[in-house]
A and B are shown apart, each in its own frame.
Chain A
Amino acid sequence: MKKIHWIILGTIFIITLVLEFTVLAGYDSHWWNAIPAFYAIFGFVICYALVYSAKFIAKKIVNRDINYYD
């Protein structure tokens, strides 16, 4: 990832934030709409949680040697 890529992603993110606080300011169909940038936080936190919990499950329960069933 070059610097320019990060700048593009950051710009898109800022645009979504601007939209959220202007066009969608009064939007309220789910309880979590009250939390600012909810979906961004959600994506980040859930991704972390998924990776760590999957890693845990893999290590403790499901991963075996490649020739396990042979």
Chain B
Amino acid sequence: MIEFFTIPGVILIVGAALISLFSEKVRPALFLVFPIIAAVVIVTRPDGYTVTGSLLNYDLVLMQTDTLSDLFGLVFALGALVAGIYAYHMKELGQQISALAYAGGALGVVYAGDLLTLIINWEIMALASTWLIWARRTPETDAAGMRYLIYHILGGGLLFAGILWHSVVEGSITVESIPMEYTPANILMLLGVAVNTAIIPLHTWLSDAYPKATHTGTIFMSIFTTKTAVYVLIRMFAGWELLIFFGAAMAVYGIYYAVICKDMREILSYHIISQVGYMVCAIGIGTDLALNGAAAHAYNNILYKSLMFMAVTAVMYSAGTSKMFHLGGLYKKLPWVLGLYVVGGLSISGIPLFAGFISKGMVIDAAGYGGYESIMLVLLVASVGTWLSVGLKLPYFTWFDKQKYEGELKPIPVNMYIAMGILAFACIFYGVFPNALYTFLPFETGYDPYTVYHVVEITQIALLTFVAFWFLRKKLAPELTTVLDLDWFYRKAAPPLRKVFVTRVDNFYDRVEDAILATAGFLSRKFKNPMLWLNPFTDKKNEASRYSPSMEVVMSFIILSFLVFAIAYLI
């Protein structure tokens, strides 16, 4: 039984329940304790450690460790810890509980040895994360949260259906690599995972919900959902060739929107899709180098993507808006936030000496050496777009350019700086010492990122992209717009569908109810004194003739005899 509480996911979920018992003052500190315990457990458990249990007739493997799960488990625990530090000033119980349970669900998925444990944790993630959107309590976020939840219930349902089908056909519920066969069970499972991976065209929940979540909620969301799905893809769908093309398409699709969008959080959200595209592409290639690249890129991504989200959230916290249209010229007022953001920006763009360089190159090289040169070029296009959109455009129009923000800036809590500082340090640390990460990757590949070729390649691309950006920067100037995506279809379809299936049905029942009541009213009026219409000679104008006690007695007797007969019949 005690083993049950060594499962990292369980530790966080128990933590989520426990923190509700404590006062507002203690809670943020207590929040940090549980990810630390989880991290300690992860580090101290040996490879191959398992915890088993059973549900009905199924033998469950609640926890199973190996290099891959430990890599993701550790970065999730650290992510939860740093995001907890970032959210230290936030006192709202609901958000704290849901964030911790959400992280617990993600860890549960990572250590799940069987598909039932996996799907249960998968659903915990979906439910817990929804509150991080709803907690803003505006009509807009209520609707966005509902769309997010419905999308994830759909995805979870597809995955669960696939798992059930798979267990019937294969007779096994172990989480294992699935051979590339397009059977109904496999397709259902892949679709279910694809929803959480935000594979286009199933990505719209992400770009819709992430920019609308609470300040600190977005940070948690950017860490867990897509990366958990990437982990499951590596485990189960490595080498599925279809993923290469979808991944490459995601990388470019995300970039286009990141270039088009003018809201800081929208830009970064779309950029997640692009970054996850690299990982999906690598998983499709499926070689040792590619899978190492996918895992390393997911790991690094959690570091620098959450750093960037934290920096723009700090600006948003301070200035009250995430629209670049209202910002600009903040470099004198928020220089530290700029510096920390730039570390993230340089990392994500794969600039040498920063974390992205050591993992992105791996993915791109895996494509090049795996026989997919055109895919390699597509990924390089996405690299240019990354540097252009989140490396240059976003900071330029937020911290430089004309100053548009007039109001007072709210001071940024020191805990936010600490969290960002930790991540920035990690980004530089892994960039300078790539082997600190490489030794924890699932495969031995002997890959060295710091070759002359690689450095020259990235430096030339970065320099000339910068020059082109400088010439074209006016073209990217922020404006206030809504940017349409594929969610247009269901968001636009919702009102007419609601009209047909809800409003019309409601109206129909309303009318039927009215008709019944009207009939009853009509009959009761008429039978109050039937003599009025039974006897055509009654004087209708004369009050006295309209009501006669004798009539009432007669009617009462008729009803009474009905009752007597009815009772007699029943007996």
Contact = CB atoms under 8 A, between A and B. Distances in A.
B116 interface: no
Interface stretch (B69-77, B473-481, B498-506, B558-566): B473-481
Contacts of B260: 54, 57-58, 62-63
Interface string A39-61: 11111101110111111011001
Contact of A46 (B384, B452, B480, B482): B384
A2 interface: no
Most buried by B among A23, A31, A50, A67: A50
Contacts of A55: 475
B484 A51 contact: no
A22 B244 CA distance: 35
Interface residues of B, number: 41
A66 B459 CA distance: 38
A50 B381 CA distance: 9
B388 A47 contact: yes
Nearest to A70: B140
A15 to B, nearest CB: 8
B464 A66 contact: no
A3 interface: no
Contact of A16 (B380, B456, B465): B456
A50 B385 contact: yes
A42 B480 contact: no
Interface in B454-490: 455-470, 472, 475-476, 480-485
A58 B478 CA distance: 12
Contact of A51 (B259, B460, B491): B259
Interface string A17-51: 00110011001011100000101111110111011
A27 B453 CA distance: 8
A67 to B, nearest CB: 7
Contact of A54 (B256, B368, B459, B467): B256
Contact of B459 (A1, A16, A46, A67): A16
B428 interface: no
B376 A43 contact: no
B552 interface: no
Contacts, number: 122
A31 B259 CA distance: 29
Report whether over half of chain A's contact residues are helix, strand or loop; otherwise say mixed. helix
A58 to B, nearest CB: 5
A66 B481 contact: yes
B460 A50 contact: no
Nearest to B473: A51
A43 B472 CA distance: 14
Contacts of B384: 42-43, 46-47, 50
Contacts of B475: 51-52, 55
Nearest to A46: B384
B456 A39 contact: yes
A7 interface: no
B255 interface: yes
B513 interface: no
B24 interface: no
A34 B368 CA distance: 16
Interface in B352-392: 368-369, 373, 376, 380-381, 384-385, 388
Interface centre among B256, B469, B475, B482 (most CB of A within 10 A): B482
Contacts of B388: 47, 50-51
A16 B464 CA distance: 12
Nearest to A13: B463
Given A9-B466, A51-B388, A62 B453 contact: no
Contact of A62 (B452, B463, B465, B484): B484
B460 A16 contact: yes
Contacts of B380: 42, 46
Of B456, B476, B482, most A-chain CB atoms within 10 Å:
B456
Contact of B464 (A44, A51, A52, A54): A44
Nearest to A54: B259
Nearest to B470: A1
Contacts of B469: 47, 51
B484 A30 contact: no
B452 A41 contact: no
Nearest to B369: A29
Contacts of A20: 456, 460
A67 B472 CA distance: 28
Contact of A19 (B373, B452, B491): B452
B461 A43 contact: yes
Interface centre among A29, A55, A66 (most CB of B within 10 A): A66
16 contacts: A9-B466, A9-B467, A13-B459, A13-B460, A13-B464, A16-B460, A16-B463, A30-B376, A31-B373, A39-B460, A47-B469, A57-B260, A58-B260, A58-B483, A62-B483, A64-B484
Given A47-B465, A57-B260, A62-B260, 14 more contacts: A13-B459, A23-B452, A30-B368, A30-B373, A39-B458, A43-B384, A43-B465, A47-B384, A47-B388, A50-B255, A50-B388, A62-B483, A64-B483, A66-B481
Interface of A: 1, 9, 12-13, 16, 19-20, 23-24, 27, 29-31, 37, 39-44, 46-48, 50-55, 57-58, 61-69
Interface of B: 255-256, 259-260, 368-369, 373, 376, 380-381, 384-385, 388, 452-453, 455-470, 472, 475-476, 480-485, 491
The 9 closest A-B pairs by CB, nearest first: A47-B468, A43-B464, A43-B461, A39-B460, A44-B464, A40-B460, A68-B482, A54-B259, A43-B465
